[in-house]
A and B are shown apart, each in its own frame.
Chain A
Amino acid sequence: MSWLIEIILNGLITGSIYALVGSGIALVYGTTRVLNFAHGELIMIAGYLVLFFSVTLGWNVWLASFLTLVMVAGAGALLQRATIAPLLARDDWAFRVIAATIGLSIFLQSGAQLVWGEQFRTLPYFFNGVAVIGDVRMPWQRIAILVIALLIMAASALVLYRTPLGRMVRATAQDAEAALAVGIPSGLVHTAVFAISAVLAGAGAILLSPLVSVNPWMGVAYLLKGFAVVILGGLGSFGGAVAAGFLLGLIESFGVAFAPTEWRDVISFTFLIAVIWVRPNGLFAGRGA
């Protein structure tokens, strides 16, 4: 029985990171129809920022995390204003935006290599000790990932469904021109959505950094999983992406319980292809922001 609890817990923990990353991508896609290929680099930037504040400067980890989230939100807003907004003004923006964000992704990876080098760095655990749940022993750091990720996603959902900003975002997502016609400044909404999406990516990076290394390419794998989550969740659905993130985490966790760990990505992407085959619009299509 303990092995089952461990598999489920591991699945939920991995899934919570996928959900954080995927829901950010889904929020941007659902509102602006932009697929941001530089989303992974927001994870990477947040990883380096929290490393800089908490290790290099030795600041309190909560302060470091807060500052990281504020700065990465600014980076997301800047990315949208400087790179994407000028392209959205054109009629033929769709391919240009993809090309621009891929270019930005490569630029940021190369920039990180120049600034921080190629070595892999790790943050110390924020939470020490081990939780004991029956026969299962799990580091508090891993439990904290799940709890904090859930809290952040709940807060995001609250913003989206219970605040004036959320109403503006949902209106713009459902019909940008109609939103503009009632006086909603859709350009600012797009910028806000990129900032929120960056915060979600940054939160994922902060939670992950003690467990995986911070390096210039750390966002790439999570970007691909994030895209998988967005497709599984039904393109652009925030709630769908959250559910799909947890589902993908659980499937991977059960998969590697019975197959070698290297098969992790094979399992998740085979599942993705199977879902696309049966439900081309994803598992939770039509439940957008």
Chain B
Amino acid sequence: MLDLNNIDVHYGATQVLWDVSMRVGAGEIVSVMGPNGSGKSTVLKAAMGLKKATRGEVILDGEDLQGKSATLRPKRGMSIVLERRRLFPRMSVRENIQLGAFTRTHAEAARTMDWVLDILPDLQPHLNATAGKLSGGQQQMVAIARGLMADPRVLLMDEPFLGLSPIMVRTVSDIMRTINEKGVAILFNEQNAKLSFALSHRGYLLESGRVVLSGSGEEMLEHPEVKRVYLGQRAEGAA
């Protein structure tokens, strides 16, 4: 479905991604885990076309989107929930959600709005509220709703749990599973290894802009290096 092949990204003269390749299959949840500054957000932005890759391919269902405008992605079935929600704070919740369907017809948008509110019913009473005045958790719901309004086949989620309470983390995890069960593939990034790999079918470990490890969620959680560095556990057999 979505293939990132040999992606390099530079910020000015500084290279931040090196030969990154990832794959998101239809109906999969795939996570990108890594420490701060490892380039996780840049991977998602490069996939979405918000940051230009200096080398490599972004292929969605056989079509190479690399070098094409970011505005094309929602039309092709890819959308993103940006880090820290990034809502349009002075607009209403309804306007924020509707803008997610910017590239679609009114009829399509209205249909998808019903579907989105079915998945996120808690948003219904807040539709006329100003988005910037909602709590962090509610704002994350709006951001997810906005992302879903493009009716994506693959949804990118940049640090979806950042700044949320433990209860909201559980809620957002459940919503991600629900979305996935409805046929939407998800590529998300997260710093917390346990959260990241427990939620995903497959995962990638990114360090200093390079993919250093990949495997199924279970394999990643059981990998000695992940256990030692990211889960704070001693590898079996260690002294």
Contact = CB atoms under 8 A, between A and B. Distances in A.
Interface in B66-87: 69-75, 79-80, 82, 86-87
Contacts of B50: 177, 180-181
A262 interface: no
B71 A180 contact: yes
Interface stretch (A76-84, A128-136, A142-150, A167-175): A167-175
B88 A184 contact: no
Given A167-B99, A171-B99, A181 B82 contact: yes
Interface residues of A, number: 18
B160 interface: no
Interface in A232-288: 287-288
A139 interface: no
A182 B100 contact: yes
Of A170, A175, A178, A179, most B-chain CB atoms within 10 Å: A178
Contact of B75 (A174, A175, A183, A288): A183
Given A171-B99, A175-B86, A181 B91 contact: no
B12 A91 contact: yes
B115 interface: no
The interface residues of chain B, by DSSP majority, are classed as: loop
Given A167-B95, A182-B99, A288-B90, A177 B82 contact: yes
A185 B89 contact: no
A91 B52 CA distance: 13
Contact of A178 (B12, B71, B87, B103): B87
Given A167-B99, A171-B91, A182 B86 contact: no
State the main secondary structure of chain A at its contact with B.
helix
Interface in B37-61: 48, 50
A180 B80 CA distance: 11
Interface residues of B, number: 27
Nearest to B104: A183
A175 B74 CA distance: 17
Contact of A174 (B74, B79, B90, B103): B90
Nearest to A177: B50
B48 A170 contact: no
Given A181-B48, A181-B70, A171 B88 contact: yes
B58 to A, nearest CB: 15
A177 B73 CA distance: 14
A257 to B, nearest CB: 38
B12 to A, nearest CB: 6
A175 B99 CA distance: 12
A181 B80 contact: yes
B151 to A, nearest CB: 12
8 contacts: A167-B95, A170-B88, A170-B90, A174-B89, A179-B88, A180-B50, A182-B103, A183-B73
Interface of A: 91, 167-168, 170-171, 174-175, 177-185, 287-288
Given A182-B103, A287-B90, 14 more contacts: A170-B91, A171-B88, A171-B99, A175-B89, A177-B50, A181-B70, A181-B79, A181-B80, A182-B74, A182-B100, A183-B70, A183-B72, A183-B150, A288-B90
